[in-house]
Structure 1
Amino acid sequence: MAEDVTAARVRALIESSGLTQADFAAKAGLDASKISKSLKGVRRFTSLDLARIAELGGVSVDWLLGVEGAPAVAARALGAEPSAVEVAVREATRFAQARADLAFLGYPRPPRPAPVVPTDGSLVEQGIRLAEAAVAGLREAGGDPLAHDLAPVVEEHFGVDLAVVEMPDGCDGLAWSDEHAHLILVGSTEYPTRQRFTIAHELGHLLAADDQGLHMDEDVMDPDRRRQPSETRANAFAAAFLLPADDLREAVGSEGRSLTVDAFAALVLRFMVSPSTLAYRLDGLGLISAEQREKFRELTTAACAARTGATGRFAEWIESSRQSRLPSALVRDTFTAYVEGRSTLRPFANLVGLDVESLRRALDASAEPAAGGDEPEFAP
């Protein structure tokens, strides 16, 4: 049945192109006789056949296979600017489709070990225990939740494709999970602590298997959303993941109830979280009093940076959090499929945002030997 659907859709593409079957095959860089046999059901379409047909026809491989598409976005008002949610879902759909196409071509995302999701205790306790298990597994594998750049750590250990994209205000991030893709998407922002918390928050949703499919977080700090069960657990997970109890106890030492504002500010910069997140976590662990918590949570990250003489580092952190980021493993796998002849160049070009011919020229130029022999020439 799947072959019948694929053949029918390939025929539809050929008819809509206005080309003969032979001309269509030639334009796609395929053998006309083999395509004819595939259309008659004598031969199976290969992954490269489908990749090239999809490229020429402007469709996805999944569409050719008759696979159901990703969740659709409700149509926006005519003439209106796309909302943050629409932008986020559109980008997530693009990445998830790329991952599904790669799986079909023989490049599935390798599975990663996932901690067991607790089912007993309060939602806060579940989130904390899930984070403790995640941190333990991460550190056992050589990763560090305190790494300045958290994105590659999450990608490498948890098998997640993580993207940072520019979005209108109104969406902090989303988590996407389906048969082929586990995706975290967060917005570029001038609030680096919020972005870092959102990454951990969305990881919590993925590990807890919340809302299989698409989980959208317009505002991770919204009080109404924070009361929802899955949000309560994800927020508890994020705080415990970014602020492991043993690390905090060691950092605070014997100061505890005598912790000064300057010492607290230094901890904010060390752990790269907001003063509010740190204050509540320290209070939850019994390391500071409720009075200290209320005093510390009123600080801003910028004020903490100024108190510790780290304004330059804070400015660099802001600049970094404002940059877009493609999922590195997805980029690597897409390029590998092209290099190994399983895909055309177009999927990689689409992923990195370049037209095919410009990218092809750049790749051809990079393969040329340096002028004047083996030694490269450098201009002063």
Structure 2
Amino acid sequence: MAIDSASLGLRVAQARQRAGLTQEDLARSSELERSAIAKIETGARRITALELARVAEAVGERIEWFVQESPPAIVSHRNMSDPGEPSPRIDTAIDRFVRAVKFTAQHDGNLRSTLRSIPVFDEPTSATQTEALAQQARELIGVGPEVPLHNLSAKMVGVGVLTFVLDLGPEAADAGSVLLEDGAVAVVNGALRTGRRRLALAHEFGHILIADEYTIDWRLDSTQNSRERIIDRFARALLLPRKSLDTQWRRLGGTERSKTREAAVRTASHFRVDMSTLARRLLDLSLIDDETAARVRTFKTERADIVAHDLVVADELPAGELSREYQAAVLRLFTSETINTDRALDLLMDTWEPSDLPELAPRDESEIWQFTS
């Protein structure tokens, strides 16, 4: 769709502010005069395609962000934020993933059917309600109430949630999610360790189930507000179900000080969580006291532990992982020649090389004439 100079100028101003740049900074980076930037932002001067490309590079945005409407949930979130603050990297990443998913689903019926309507649950207001929501969530994704929840992203696809993992760096947010018209997109920071990545995704699942349209979670185990504390507990309960954890902890002798470390190492491996999450969950269930929790947080799984206890080392949700259903949809568009190589690689978020794409079957002469006649 066409966009007028005033709207385009406003987007330039928003992108500059989120990038933490002054008009002088942007002018220098884009090889424009500061007065030109000022006029562009007010809509008094048109911006050429080449100038827009330089501006986009300077502020770390994609050109499509300036000329196409963003998903409503993202627009709402950004309008609520302080316009003088730099934009989190995850904001930009989520915007790109949502656009890519919507485009791909528009052209691929299988992906459209995957993005089904997600049931909405009442927001819990107590520990009891939070534990109940975690059990309902397990039922929703087809996992028994007591078994370890592995391969969470694959199971969430069954209810319409697509997960993407991108290394955003240690200073960026842990995760974020967006509800679409049907389905949802969750983005996890691949810079986190495996256990924290799983906790981050579980946390986003909680937001999705209570229909938070758009969320950015900067750090897990938040104490900022009651909602975040509730979602934190939901995530722990989802990954560490009460009865199973209680049984495992007592069977391994976790209640005995001399056996606490071994019990923690084996339990964390069994449920694929980090020590901080395990300690907090054990406190939730009154299985340990504060002193023991502090000790558990200091434990590290060593190489000797892996050998001695025959532990499974799983790198779940590695950086660069894209939803398998989404990747398959992109490949279908490529092999049907709905999109070209560059567009396919773009939709695959530059996690694929051109050589990774399948070779297209050559067309015979009759097919060529269909395209030229």
Q: Give the shorter-chain TM-score range.
A: 0.5 to 0.7
Q: Give 1:110-129 correspondences, 5 Å limit.
A: 110-112=114-116, 114=118, 117-119=121-123, 121-122=125-126, 124-129=127-132
**2:204 is aligned with 1:246:** no
Three-state SS of the structure 1 residue aligned to 2:298 is coil
What per-residue deviation string (whole Å, max 9, x for no partner) do you get for residues 143-184 of structure 1?
A: 97532x433233x32321111112131311111112155111
Give the Cα–Cα distance (whole angstroms) in 1 for the partners of residues 242 and 144 of structure 2.
19
**Alpha-carbon distance in structure 2 between the residues aligned to 1:310 and 1:77:** 52
Q: Which amino acid aligns with 2:276?
A: S
Q: Partner amino acid for 1:234?
A: I
Gaps of 5+ in 1: 1-5, 10-57, 369-380
Do the aligned partners of residues 242 and 315 (structure 1) sit closer, same or farther apart at CA in structure 2, a change above 3 Å counting?
A: closer
Mapped to 2, the partners of 1:139 and 1:355 lie a distance apart of 30
CA deviation map 1:248-289 (0-9, x unaligned): 133234546336221222112221212232223223334x24
Matches within 5 A, 1:334-345: 334-340=330-336, 342-345=338-341
> 1:361 and 1:196, CA in 2 relative to 1: closer, same or farther beyond 3 A?
closer
Provide the rounded CA distance (Å) in 2 between the counterparts of 1:311 and 1:173: 34
Q: What's the TM-score once normalised by structure 2's chain length? A: 0.64
- Matched to 2:166, the amino acid is V
User: What is the aligned partner in structure 1 of residue 358 from structure 2?
Assistant: 363
CA distance in 2, matches of 1:119, 1:166: 30
Of 131, 134, 137, the residue aligned with 1:131 is 134
Query: Number of aligned pairs?
Result: 295
Structure 2: any 5+ residue segments left out of the alignment?
4-61, 363-373
1:10-159 equivalences under 5 Å are 71=74, 85-105=87-107, 107=109, 108-112=112-116, 114=118, 117-119=121-123, 121-122=125-126, 124-139=127-142, 146-147=149-150, 149-154=151-156, 156-159=157-160
Q: Assess, with a 3 A threshold, how the Cα gap between structure 1 residues 143 and 188 changes in structure 2: closer, same or farther.
A: farther
Q: Normalising to structure 1: TM-score of the pair?
A: 0.63
**Bigger-Rg structure (1/2):** 1
Alpha carbon RMSD of aligned pairs, Å?
Answer: 4.3
* Shift in CA distance, 227/313, structure 1 to aligned 2, threshold 3 Å: farther
Cα distance, 1:104–1:157 mapped onto 2, change above 3 Å: closer
Alignment-mate amino acid for residue 358 of structure 2: L
**Distance in structure 2 (CA, Å) of the matches to 1:248 and 1:218:** 28
Give, as a single letter, the amino acid of the residue that structure 1 aligns with 2:247.
Answer: E
- What is the rounded CA distance, in whole Å, between the counterparts of 1:325 and 1:240 in structure 2? 25
Aligned residue in 2 for 1:299: 298
- Secondary structure at the aligned position of 2:173 is classed as coil
Q: Aligned partners of 1:361, 1:175: CA distance in 2, in Å? A: 29
Are the equivalent residues in 2 in contact too, given 1:174–1:184 (CA < 8 A)?
A: yes
Q: 1:102-133 CA distances to partner (integer Å, 9 max, x unpaired)?
A: 343353252557565245651x3333221111
Say whether the 8 Å CA contact 1:243–1:271 is kept in structure 2.
yes
2:225 aligns with one of 209, 223, 228: 228
Rate the CA distance shift 1:116–1:200 in 2: closer, same or farther, 3 A. Answer: same
Supply the distance in 2 between the matched residues of 1:310 and 1:173 (Cα, whole angstroms). Answer: 32
Give, in whole Å, the separation in 1 of the partners of 2:232 and 2:339: 40
Partner of 1:43: none
Q: 1:141 and 1:117, CA in 2 relative to 1: closer, same or farther beyond 3 A? A: same
1:185 shift after superposition = 0.7
Partners of 1:71 and 1:113 in 2: CA distance: 19
Q: Which residue of 2 aligns with 1:21?
A: none
Q: Which residue of 2 aligns with 1:268?
A: 268
Q: What is the deviation of 1:315?
A: 11
1:325 equivalent in structure 2: 321
